[in-house]
Structure 1
Amino acid sequence: MKYSFAKATSILFLLIFLFITSCATKKPAVKNTKKPVVTTKPAPPKPIIEKPEARLNLPEVNREFRAAWIATVANINWPSKNNLSTQQQKDEAIKILDLLQDANFNAVIFQARPSADAMYKSELEPWSYFLTGSIGKAPTPFYDPLEFWIEEAHKRGMELHVWLNPYRAHHTTGGPITNESMVKKMPEQIIKLRNGMYWMDPSDDKTQDHTSKVIKDLVKRYDIDAIHIDDYFYPYREYNGGKDFPDNRTWNDYQKRGGNLSRADFRRANVNKFIKRIHDEIKAEKSYVKFGISPFGIWKPGYPEGIKGSSQYDELYADAKLWLNQGWVDYFSPQLYWKNEGPQSFTSLLKWWESENTEKRHLWPGLNTIGLKGVTDRPTEIVNQINSTRSLLKNGAGTIHYSVDGLSKSPAMLAAVKASYKTKALIPKTPWIKTTPLEKPILFVENSANSFHVKWNSLDNQKVFQWILYVKYGETWETEILEKDFISQNLPSTKNGKKLNTIAVKSVDRLGNESEYAAKKL
């Protein structure tokens, strides 16, 4: 018992000693200033889910190219005389444009260079005899007719295409030849034909260079929408009394240089070279300016089968099928100046040209609105041709009327065409010309007692050509194509018992491309 008690006492004293020692040597706790290490990622915040606004199902707007030729040569359409005052010229131009706008046209093809002369201020060629009655004489008081036509056309939401003839140097109705005339300034390149006209040699490099400079000057200095060349390349044979074109100088020079093409192929090769060159030069200067050609409507007799008539390929040395096949144009307007049936069938030719449109360029045929032969009811025939074009070409359809006099001087024709163009239309899109998309418009809507005042604009307003305004009453959408200067409108809050509930607007550029829409739900 003694041993056990002593042992227990020793253990007890040892425990007490260890306890006292630990208390005596314990250091004060040091505060930990380091941030705790997080070993697990915090849970992500819950996303804020907003209900997206449903995309509006806006209706498609109508698209169709609707144009008329405005011929200035021989004072055919404008100005009506070559001795009118500046104000009279302007008044006539406005009257033509108002007539076309009222009939829902969206383009004019204005002949700015009828025969190596100018309906505009040019350092390269003289003022036109058809403008002032004297070659080289400017209008008084001074104005620039082309600039005026462009401005007034654009105000009305219409394109302005500059129409020119590349090779005609002097027309028989163009007055006496003076030192101002290109006939005097380019004597080596210009040939007198038996009917009294003067023609530039298309195979002369100086001819091609000069015409190229004229076109580049027009594209660079004017806010035009297109360059347009008509059907005159080498002249029609009857212009030279049925004789061959007298181009011995350039032909002999070609042979001396070792050329081995036939004379016909030599001529065609030079015209082809010129067309390709003009296309490329226009695009290099302003890519958005379109290039259009309006050749004679028959490529060769027998194309398509059953077609008879003159051959542009063999007589004018114009291989227009090649230009279309190669896509050297943005639009192609063969002059299909015949009725639907017969040896020059409008519909058969249009279908054939469409089959040759391998690059899918715009195909907008020319219609003989003023002088169509072989029909008793010309307005009905023209409307049928418009409808045939729509049926074949769908939403890319278009036509050009030769000429505006066919409308302005025939109330029946004007009424028929106007009924066919009953609503406004945008031009068809040109997707092969690349552009920067327009900014979405800015839209403001103010409510008043019984109406809504709507205003809109765009951050890139300088690129806007037109607007599309969409309004929805009940479940019915209404659309309106507006000119660029229209940037506000008052809308009734109810129509036909239905409330206005949605407003939207888009901007449209000069190539018919639409922006994203801006919209307000009311």
Structure 2
Amino acid sequence: MAYSHRNRPTARTGPTTVPIPHTAARTALFAGALTAALTAAFLHAPQAAAEPAPEGQNACETDPEAPPKRQMRAEWIAGVENIDWPSEQGLSADEQKAELDGLYDEAVDNGLNSVFVQIRPTADAFWPSPHEPWSEWLTGEQGGDPGYDPLEYAVEEAHSRNLEFHAWYNPYRVAMHDDPSQLVEDHPARQNPDWVFDYNGQLYYNPGIPEAREFVIEAMMDSVENYDLDGVHFDDYFYPYPAEGEEIPDEDTFAEHGGDFDDIEDWRRDNVDTMVREMSEAVNATKPHVKFGISPFGIWRNSSTDPEGSETSGSQSYDDQFADSRKWVTEGWLDYINPQVYWEIGLPVADYAALVPWWEEVAASTDTHLYIGQAAYKVGNEGAWEDPNELSSHLDFNRDHAGVHGDVYFSANSLRTNAQEAMDVLVSDHYSSPALIPVKEDLGGTAPAPPEASTTDDGALEIASGSGEAPAYYAVYGFDGEPAPDQGECGIEDPRNMLGTVRADEDGAATFDVSDGSDTTYHVTALDRLHHESPASEPVHLP
């Protein structure tokens, strides 16, 4: 069985087993209309509490029944093994574009505001990288030119729908097989065979070799430097998930590079820490507005192992992948943490209701945002996941935890197959109103000036930027009847009045269709790319 961000074996828990998130892979494929059960990898989280009014604005009373105005709402779009996009190898450029357009349109229809798209699944690239070959998942042939730039297209189309685009990379996985000769001849892993080890039937760059780590960072940073990304995202693959009866073959590397470490496991954790810290520093130095986040396995450590751990008894990423995810948060290396909490409420060994508060507490004293990875791929499995309300119940739970800033769903294809009914319930219960993406204040940015809006004869709002730099996009709010006091101040704080958002062009112009409205007053706000919101425009009444 092959794995990816969705490739993990099951997490061992003594006599009990817990599936390992972003790695579990598909165990069944489509058979007929809905025999699709992806056992791939998994991703992130729920609804954040409404943010306080920006400084300088009057605080408005918040209706306790109102949904959060700001939430990360995202899905993973996986490329490895053609889980999501492209759906198969060898599609034409136009077919690939049409598939991605369809996924993005469905994301918008589901009330999402972000996509996490896998662009480096196996030490390869979904863009013309000077460091690594074209991905085999595009054409079926590693190094095969797809005839266009998939990353450029993916970013542009996401932004045209006002979806935030997070580029998703797997740092160390080289191949889903263990035969270096199957790699293209000029592949860096073939040119530097001492950088690579095979484990459990797959090839990996060795995290303990400094040159390999530096190369991996350089290869990923090429896309950060050359594309208009909003985020940089890693999944849970660092050192490989443990395979029974196999040892990671890095004793010689430890002897050469272990330095003052007496314990090989501490050294491995330090290798991963170093890569995370250096990638964080590189992103921040190159484009400080780009967010850096990771979606680790949902359990850091169990409290029976470490008093700082969670009340769980499942596999531990600290010990199994040498991923000290708690440290990455407390050290401030991440803009967001997106743990894969891929278990149901009430599961004894890994209870969703125990893990979300634990992660909330970890992030509480930091500037790191918390998103929760949600296992849409599990919907339809026996037990709790047979209930199409399970995912919605997770967001019900999150509403009582203000430290949760949103959710990410694994993965896009599940939301249109096995989890379609569950997502319909979730959208009805939680996503019936749009949401803005939470602001991370330490990334900078400022609210633009209030925009100007007017109506056209064909039922549209024409929007223009106010003074100063053009905004990234606009939010449009609608109110029944003629203008009323506080609409443009307090009314816009309730997302139930938000009709949607629209991307601005380079000159700050945009058009928003309001042809369905009559006797409606509209207010428009302007937002920068980091989602700081301006005061509202003057009201525009459409009789």
TM-score bin, normalised by smaller chain: 0.7 to 0.9
Contact 1:170–1:183 (Cα < 8 Å) also in 2: no
Q: 1:89 aligns with which of 83, 90, 96?
A: 96
Which deviates the most, 298-307 or 353-362?
298-307
Q: How far did 1:180 drift?
A: 3.7
Contact 1:445–1:520 (Cα < 8 Å) also in 2: no
CA distance in 2, matches of 1:349, 1:57: 33
**Paired positions, count:** 454
AA of the residue aligned to 1:247: D
CA distance in 2, matches of 1:514, 1:149: 26
Q: How far did 1:402 drift?
A: 0.8
Aligned residue in 2 for 1:110: 117
Question: Within the alignment, does 1:246 sit opposite 2:249 as a pair?
Answer: yes
User: Is the partner of 2:334 in helix, strand or coil?
Assistant: coil
Q: 1:397 aligns with which of 405, 410, 414?
A: 405
Q: How far did 1:301 drift?
A: 2.1
Q: How far did 1:237 drift?
A: 1.1
Aligned residue in 2 for 1:268: 269
Question: Within the alignment, does 1:188 sit opposite 2:197 as a pair?
Answer: no
Aligned residue in 2 for 1:62: 69
Aligned residue in 2 for 1:468: 476
Question: Normalized against structure 2, the TM-score is what?
Answer: 0.78
Aligned residue in 2 for 1:415: 424
Q: How far did 1:90 drift?
A: 1.0
Q: How far did 1:288 drift?
A: 0.6
AA of the residue aligned to 1:187: P
AA of the residue aligned to 2:442: W
Aligned residue in 2 for 1:509: 528
Distance 1:480 1:183, change over 3 A: same
Q: 1:480 aligns with which of 489, 494, 499?
A: 499
CA distance in 2, matches of 1:56, 1:489: 28
Aligned residue in 2 for 1:386: 395
List gaps (5 residues or longer) in structure 1. 1-53
User: Is the partner of 1:416 in helix, strand or coil?
Assistant: helix
Greater gyration radius = 1
Question: C-alpha offsets along residues 5-25 of structure 1, whole Å, 9 cap, x if unaligned?
Answer: xxxxxxxxxxxxxxxxxxxxx
Distance 1:305 1:145, change over 3 A: closer
* Relative contact order higher in (CA < 8 Å, ≥ 6 apart): 2
Contact 2:311–2:354 (Cα < 8 Å) also in 1: no
Question: Within the alignment, does 1:146 sit opposite 2:165 as a pair?
Answer: no
User: Is the partner of 2:500 in helix, strand or coil?
Assistant: strand
Q: 2:359 aligns with which of 338, 345, 353?
A: 353
Q: How far did 1:516 drift?
A: 2.9
CA distance in 1, matches of 2:516, 2:191: 67
Contact 1:390–1:397 (Cα < 8 Å) also in 2: no
Q: How far did 1:489 drift?
A: 4.8
Q: 2:336 aligns with which of 331, 339, 343?
A: 331
Question: C-alpha offsets along residues 243-293 of structure 1, whole Å, 9 cap, x if unaligned?
Answer: 2211123211135xx523411111111211111111111011111100010
Aligned residue in 2 for 1:99: 106
Question: Normalized against structure 1, the TM-score is what?
Answer: 0.81
CA distance in 2, matches of 1:494, 1:429: 30
Question: Within the alignment, does 1:166 sit opposite 2:159 as a pair?
Answer: no
Distance 1:452 1:466, change over 3 A: closer
Question: C-alpha offsets along residues 343-377 of structure 1, whole Å, 9 cap, x if unaligned?
Answer: 10012011011111120421101111112553153
Going by fraction, where is helix more abundant, 1 or 2?
1
CA distance in 1, matches of 2:178, 2:81: 6
Q: How far did 1:436 drift?
A: 3.7
CA distance in 2, matches of 1:356, 1:493: 46
Q: Percent identity?
A: 30
AA of the residue aligned to 1:386: L
Distance 1:252 1:95, change over 3 A: same
AA of the residue aligned to 1:504: H
User: Is the partner of 2:355 in helix, strand or coil?
Assistant: helix
Contact 2:462–2:510 (Cα < 8 Å) also in 1: yes
Contact 1:135–1:181 (Cα < 8 Å) also in 2: no
Distance 1:521 1:312, change over 3 A: closer
Distance 1:267 1:453, change over 3 A: closer
Q: How far did 1:96 drift?
A: 0.8
User: Is the partner of 1:259 in helix, strand or coil?
Assistant: coil
Distance 1:494 1:275, change over 3 A: closer
Q: 1:443 aligns with which of 446, 449, 453?
A: 453
Aligned residue in 1 for 2:23: none
Distance 1:349 1:490, change over 3 A: closer
Question: Within the alignment, does 1:431 sit opposite 2:441 as a pair?
Answer: yes
Q: 2:82 aligns with which of 63, 75, 79?
A: 75
Aligned residue in 1 for 2:223: 218
Mapping for residues 37-52 of structure 1, pairs under 5 Å: none
Q: How far did 1:441 drift?
A: 1.7
Runs of 4 or more off by more than 6 Å in structure 1?
Answer: 54-61
Question: C-alpha offsets along residues 404-440 of structure 1, whole Å, 9 cap, x if unaligned?
Answer: 1221113312322322311211111111211243233
AA of the residue aligned to 1:289: V
User: Is the partner of 1:422 in helix, strand or coil?
Assistant: coil
User: Is the partner of 2:421 in helix, strand or coil?
Assistant: helix
List gaps (5 residues or longer) in structure 2. 1-56, 492-496
Alignment RMSD: 2.8
Which deviates the most, 172-181 or 502-511?
172-181
AA of the residue aligned to 2:395: I
Question: Within the alignment, does 1:155 sit opposite 2:164 as a pair?
Answer: no
CA distance in 2, matches of 1:185, 1:515: 52
Question: C-alpha offsets along residues 458-479 of structure 1, whole Å, 9 cap, x if unaligned?
Answer: 1556541333345452557543
AA of the residue aligned to 1:62: K
CA distance in 2, matches of 1:215, 1:370: 27
CA distance in 2, matches of 1:130, 1:143: 14
Question: Within the alignment, does 1:301 sit opposite 2:302 as a pair?
Answer: yes
CA distance in 2, matches of 1:336, 1:385: 10
Question: C-alpha offsets along residues 125-145 of structure 1, whole Å, 9 cap, x if unaligned?
Answer: 000111111111111xx2111
AA of the residue aligned to 2:503: K
Distance 1:442 1:165, change over 3 A: same
Distance 1:376 1:493, change over 3 A: closer
